[in-house]
Amino acid sequence: MKNANLKTKNSISILVLAAVLALPTLSFAQDAKPDEKPTTEKAKKTDAPATDSNIVVVTGTKPQNQIDRQSYNLKDNIAAQNGNAADALNQVPSVNVDSQGNLTLRGQSNVKVLMNGRDSAMLKGDNRAATLLSLQGGDIDSIEVMNNPGAGFSSEGSAGIINIVMKKNRKPGKFGTIMASAGDNGRINGNMTGSLTTNKFSLNGGLNYRYDGRSFNTVSKRDNNNPLAGALAHTDQLSNIDGTRKSIGGNIGLDYFLNDKDTIGFQANYSTRDQNSVTDRSYVGTDSNGNQLTNYVLNSARKTSRDDYGISLNWDHNYAGGSKLKNNLSYSASNGTTDGDDYYKYTIPTINNYNDLLTTKTDAKSYTYALDYEHPMDNAKITSGLLVDVDDNSSQTTAFTVNDADNIVVPNPHRSNTFDSYQIVNAAYFTYQQYLGDKWAGQIGVRVENTDINTFNATSNIASSSIYTNVNPSAFLTYDINDKTKLRFAYSRRIQRPNAQDLNPTPVYNDAENISIGNPNLRPQTTDAFEVGYEFADGPVSYQIRGYYKYNDDVITSYSQYLTGNILQTTKINGGSGQNAGLEVNMDKKFFDNKLSVNLNSNLYYVEMDAINSNKNKITGTTLMGRTRISYDVTKQDKLQFMMGTSGKQYNAQGYNGARTMSMISYSHQINPAISLMANVTNPFALEKSKSVVESDSFTSISTSKTQPRVFYVGFRMLIGARPKGQSDEMFPRPPHGPGGGGGGHPPGM
């Protein structure tokens, strides 16, 4: 990053604090006796790695969740295996991803998304939506949902954390999967994965290709309150968007077992994505008497090419007494170029035709080092760790205007912009977990994070710098009423940092009437989250009831207002405080000798927040969201699955986004144990649409979008595998690490 006044004093101080927090557990490692082992059954349980017994299969099996998360296995879900990551996430209770890749958890959008427990540049900022729409669902092993993450995970994400765990087979032998499908309008989806595991190493890899696309149409109406005579009073906009996405990618991973105690690993991934869109938009603006003041048509074309890549190195060491040390060093990058051509054809106020030509280049890099240590004791476990996370982002937009009247190319300063940001987060955490008799178990922890962010806008020659430290505690408690029922209690403090572009102080014209501008004075949002849960599981029946409450301060929210010349400016501000409380219910039941599995998920919650630029003091509302999933084994070879749900209304400080309905029907036929045929249809009932409402004291805006109905895919999946002749799993050492946690590995299951 250029011209950044980087600070180091606070970075050094946080590392000193991190070392202090790490000292207790490091001393345990030195004091551990060679033959020291947990002495009770409960202590052994704390040392258990995350396995399938800690995972909920979304078709409806007995849930056994870990103390700070719910895990959902997608291997038997046809839609997830045949679709993209967004399709997979839409199978998970209270998680919603719309057709443009926007993700929410329990109706809130401030969600931190990890891959294999770590940050990735391709899942940050504006890159996340495109990644979820291009990432293969068949490459995903499970999805972990943390509404109240523990201290071992990043404090960012006021709504919680979603961890996407990619497939990584370590069964001894040679295994492979081939999946391919095709759909209407030239859609193609395919991937290959393979693994080879011996008693010395485990090699995994995969290749994937996806070509997909959607069309949308949007109707927008905007009314200005009390406009002056002859001023703009009402606007109508109609847009039609056709878009396509293509992605090609691959990954490889190697774990080498040096001995019974040490494993070194290497993982790498690369993907290239191309996205094209064509938009036709009509715009009409009138005064209070209905006289047209503005009338034009906009034809836009966008082409985006992006490369994502990453590399990760890890070393894990198991001590004789059961302690574990994990080291991980990773680097990821996402680089892209977008070329745009906006052609305006004005008839009012004067006939005028011109092109705006734009080129935007973005470069996002992420560097992460994490050290995690855990030490089991009698009926207890201690963990601690350090994390250094560096984000280096830059973007540059160059714009020119060409008027049809003279064909002279003129630089357009209103749409040109250069912006750099550099952020360092240093973190340290400590947790203590204890079993209290046969019924109670608890975990307390604290995470300290120091953030140092510097920005520079070369266009306006404006630089900013901000340093702050957050101390975020967490606490969990479980009580086993009996073998079938359990109570859970949780608390965590979370933060939401501003995105880099939210700090960009230079206004950028998105089109002739809309400006975006960042706010370098944004502060992080803080959230205190509480939750209590009741769980019951007995054979084919299980259900969970969770009540939750969140208090948010310095809420980061969008704020829109009209400027002179009828220009609508949108920025981000800290909009005061807010709170929400809700009740989530998940129910699973099997019928007809387990042939029929039914899952019901509902979430009823209340929202209250400070209103902005409105006649109201508060924005309040109640939302109901839910989902039904049904899986039926028609025969031993045929399976039919159906999903339908609604995301519920999402409130913000100036209005709300309306509920969105989603649906999917999937079918599979197993030809033999190795080959299955699959078919998916998304949005079969053409119900998918969205609505956005902004209500302020100066204007009201309503936009409604509809998504292309009935997207079809048909294809097959083939499994290839062989265990070494005469050998079993027990003859191979179990790798000393499971799927990585975010800056702390997997806290033990309870």
With helix as H, strand as E and coil as C, how does 270-303 read?
Answer: EEEEEEEEEEEEEEEEECCCCCEEEEEEEEEEEE
Which range is most confident: 77-86, 558-567, 631-640? 631-640
What is residue 709's predicted lDDT score, i.e. its pLDDT?
A: 81
What is residue 739's predicted lDDT score, i.e. its pLDDT?
A: 33
CA–CA gap between residue 256 and residue 316 (Å, rounded): 10
Cβ of 126: how many Cβ atoms within 10 Å? Answer: 15
Report residue 405: phi and psi, to 5°. -70, -35
Share of the chain above pLDDT 90, in %: 56
What is residue 108's predicted lDDT score, i.e. its pLDDT?
A: 87
Kindly tell me if the per-residue pLDDT of 746 is higher than 50.
no
**Mean pLDDT of the region 630-656:** 91
Better pLDDT: 171 or 30: 171
pLDDT in tens, 493-550: 999 998 888 888 888 877 777 888 989 889 999 999 999 999 999 989 999 999 999 9
CA nearest 61: which of 635, 631, 719? 631
Q: What is the mean pLDDT of the chain?
A: 85
CA–CA gap between residue 111 and residue 282 (Å, rounded): 35
What is residue 24's predicted lDDT score, i.e. its pLDDT?
A: 44
**Would you place residue 368 in the very low, low, confident or very high pLDDT band (cuts 50, 70, 90)?**
very high
Kindly tell me if the per-residue pLDDT of 217 is higher than 90.
yes
Pair of tokens at residue 660: 């969105």
In CATH terms, the fold of domain 9-731 is: Maltoporin; Chain A (2.40.170)
Partners of 175 in beta bridges = 195, 721
**Mean pLDDT of the region 455-482:** 92
Residues belonging to the chain:
750
CA–CA gap between residue 461 and residue 325 (Å, rounded): 46
**Would you place residue 737 in the very low, low, confident or very high pLDDT band (cuts 50, 70, 90)?**
very low
What is residue 559's predicted lDDT score, i.e. its pLDDT?
A: 87
What is residue 509's predicted lDDT score, i.e. its pLDDT?
A: 79
**Mean pLDDT of the region 682-711:** 87
What is residue 16's predicted lDDT score, i.e. its pLDDT?
A: 43
**Would you place residue 56 in the very low, low, confident or very high pLDDT band (cuts 50, 70, 90)?**
low
Q: Return the HEC string of 418-451.
A: EEEEEEEEEEEEEEEEEEECCCEEEEEEEEEEEE
Kindly tell me if the per-residue pLDDT of 162 is higher than 90.
yes
**Beta strand 234-257 with 201-224: parallel, antiparallel or unpaired?**
antiparallel
Kindly tell me if the per-residue pLDDT of 734 is higher than 60.
no
Kindly tell me if the per-residue pLDDT of 744 is higher than 60.
no
What is residue 724's predicted lDDT score, i.e. its pLDDT?
A: 66
Kindly tell me if the per-residue pLDDT of 7 is higher than 50.
no
What is residue 184's predicted lDDT score, i.e. its pLDDT?
A: 87
